[in-house]
Amino acid sequence: MKRILIILSILISQLHSSSQENIFVIVDISKSVKQADLVSAKQALQDVLSGNILSNAYVDGGNLQDLLPFKLKMGDKISLVKFGDQQTTLAIQPSPIVIQNIPNDIFTLINGSFPTDPKDNNTYFRLAKAKIAEYANLNKIKEYKLYIVSDEIDDNFSGGKPNYSSQYIMELADGYNTTKNPVIESPRTVVKLKNSSTQGFKLNFFPKVDVSKYTPPGGGIVINDDSVIQIRITSYSQGTKIKPIKINGSNLNIGWSCTNCPQGAKFTLIVSGMSGNKYRPKIPIVSTQGYSLNNVPGGDYRISVSGQNFSSNSDTVYITVNSGGGTGWIIPVLLLLAAGIAGYWFWNKKRQKKLDEDKVNKQDDIFSPGGSQGSSNSSNSGYF
């Protein structure tokens, strides 16, 4: 019986690892979206990804069980990007993180990446989906889950037709899900916010988008090497969550290696505080395999590196920063000791002066035990 249970656990483990998903979340920041809606959507998305009961939303045309397939699992890869006008949408470059800790990784993703400031004048909705499909094609991802936060309102683009800035961008957007480049978007589950506007602001969850027959018009980074791409952090590589590497000083030099990396590879580096430490520096996307941070406050940190414009693993290490440099405590202690010595010296000097004054006064007092009763002072000799 024990042997059967072991075999079953191995089979379940293998099934779990094979069911790891690629998930892309795109968030609409056009001005037709209200800021309060984005704030509510942020919480609703976190509830769905974590498998929690919805705190401020309800399922439109379904029930809560419909949301179970969209809960994240260990090993899932997820990225969150914003879209709106053409410039914002063209800047879409998914940076997937591998879910290793639930719910901490979800909390970090949502609070670090979910936008809540609608500021764009237009919504390039089709272009946003095409950018995700392009990324998937270039990184050999044949199917993925797509979560969309949007009011689904197409802006009129000040003339009723998008004004694309290049032929390639027009072909990318207009060529999405056509006869030549079909994209199969499976039926979606819709979560509608309770406090949504009359436009019907929603979260749309597509359980499967099949892009196996889709080919973008060209451009971007193409990965031709079928070898496994591996990113490894070389600095503080032995630091684990249970036993982090201790760093003396406030400067961090973070280096990593990338095996079988494509030409033009870019990386996303995330340094986030832990254990009550809320420090999280804003680090730009880097094309080098190294980055330095200065004046880092003391505390516990998690460091992760992942591919920004290509699909790969992510690597994570843990460190504890002692920004005092290990001996910084000596200076305040020495200052405190010096202040104590100086204070004692002045106090003792004042005390000694008072003692000396008391001694002189006692010598002049004829009635005191130490006074001059036997004095031969002539002014006292003939008094009686």
Q: Does residue 205 share a domain with residue 62?
A: yes
Beta bridge partners of 259: 230
32 within a domain of the structure (yes/no)? yes
User: What's 41-77 look like in SS3?
Assistant: HHHHHHHHHHCCCCCCEEECCCCHHHHHHHCCCCCCE
- Domain encompassing residue 280: 230-322
Q: How far apart are CA 346 and CA 335, in angstroms?
A: 17
Instruction: Tell me the one-letter amino acid at 301.
Output: Y
Q: Does residue 157 share a domain with residue 39?
A: yes
Q: How far apart are CA 155 and CA 89, in angstroms?
A: 14
Confidence (pLDDT) at 369: 55
Domain boundary at 285, 301, 322, which?
Answer: 322
Number of domains in the chain: 2
Question: Within 13 Å of residue 118, how many CA atoms lie on the same side as its CB?
Answer: 20
Domain boundary at 180, 210, 240, which?
Answer: 210
340 within a domain of the structure (yes/no)? no
Q: Does residue 116 share a domain with residue 235?
A: no
Q: Are 52 and 63 in contact (CB under 8 A)?
A: no
Q: Does residue 204 share a domain with residue 248?
A: no
Q: Does residue 185 share a domain with residue 116?
A: yes
DSSP characters for 153-196?
Answer: PPP-TTTSS---SSHHHHHHHHTTTSSSS--EE---EEEEETT-
Confidence (pLDDT) at 64: 87
Q: Does residue 309 share a domain with residue 181?
A: no
Q: Does residue 201 share a domain with residue 69?
A: yes
Q: Does residue 50 share a domain with residue 146?
A: yes
Q: Does residue 165 share a domain with residue 32?
A: yes
Domain boundary at 290, 322, 354, which?
Answer: 322
103 within a domain of the structure (yes/no)? yes
Confidence (pLDDT) at 368: 53
Residues in contact with 316: Cβ distance below 8 Å, sequence separation at least 6, in sequence order: 100, 233, 302, 303, 304
Q: Does residue 92 share a domain with residue 30?
A: yes
Q: Provide the 3-class DSSP secondary structure of residue 337.
A: helix
158 within a domain of the structure (yes/no)? yes
Confidence (pLDDT) at 147: 96
Q: Provide the 3-class DSSP secondary structure of residue 6.
A: helix
Report the run of H or E that residue 355 belongs to, with start and end: helix 330-364
The DSSP symbol for 261 reads P
Confidence (pLDDT) at 13: 45
Confidence (pLDDT) at 122: 86
Q: Does residue 272 share a domain with residue 197?
A: no
List the one residue out of 297, 310, 301, 299 whose CA is nearest residue 268: 310
379 within a domain of the structure (yes/no)? no
Q: How many residues does the chain have?
A: 384
94 within a domain of the structure (yes/no)? yes
223 within a domain of the structure (yes/no)? no
CATH number of the domain enclosing 312: 2.60.40.10
110 within a domain of the structure (yes/no)? yes
Average pLDDT of adjacent 10-residue blocks, the chain of 384 residues: 50 52 95 88 94 88 88 94 90 88 91 90 91 91 94 68 82 91 91 63 90 80 53 86 89 88 84 90 89 92 86 84 62 73 77 69 56 48 38
Question: Within 13 Å of residue 317, how many CA atoms lie on the same side as its CB?
Answer: 22
What is the bridge-based pairing of β-strands 245-248 and 290-293? Answer: unpaired
Q: Does residue 259 share a domain with residue 158?
A: no
